[in-house]
Amino acid sequence: MPRLLYIATHGPDDPTKACMPIHLAVNGAAEAGIDVEINLAGDAAVLIQDHYIATLMPLGFPPLSELMAKAQAKGIPIHV
């Protein structure tokens, strides 16, 4: 089975760039049956905090709260 590791490096100062790798992992690769993991590096490390999960709203993607809920439901590992 193919495997992908998405690395997020943008933080809450740019919500769209911050959520893009998570969206691609959850609604792209995982939906296509690809074994996927997410790595929150650098400024993205804070995205695991409840405050940011609840409030981050990117343009053109679902809110971070929805993305994280889907990642959890699909069993996608998130590394910090």
Q: How far apart are CA 12 and CA 14, in angstroms?
A: 5
Give me the average pLDDT of each 10-residue run along the chain (80 residues): 92 97 97 97 97 97 97 97
Q: What is the pLDDT of residue 1?
A: 65
Q: What is the pLDDT of residue 5?
A: 97
- Number of domains observed in the structure of the chain: 1
Give the number of C-alpha atoms closer than 13 A to the C-alpha of residue 19, restricted to the C-beta side. 25
Backbone angles phi, psi at 19, to 5 degrees: -90, -15
Greatest pairwise CA separation for the chain in angstroms: 35
Q: What is the pLDDT of residue 13?
A: 97
Q: Which domain holds residue 44?
A: 3-79
User: For the whole model, what pTM was predicted?
Assistant: 0.93
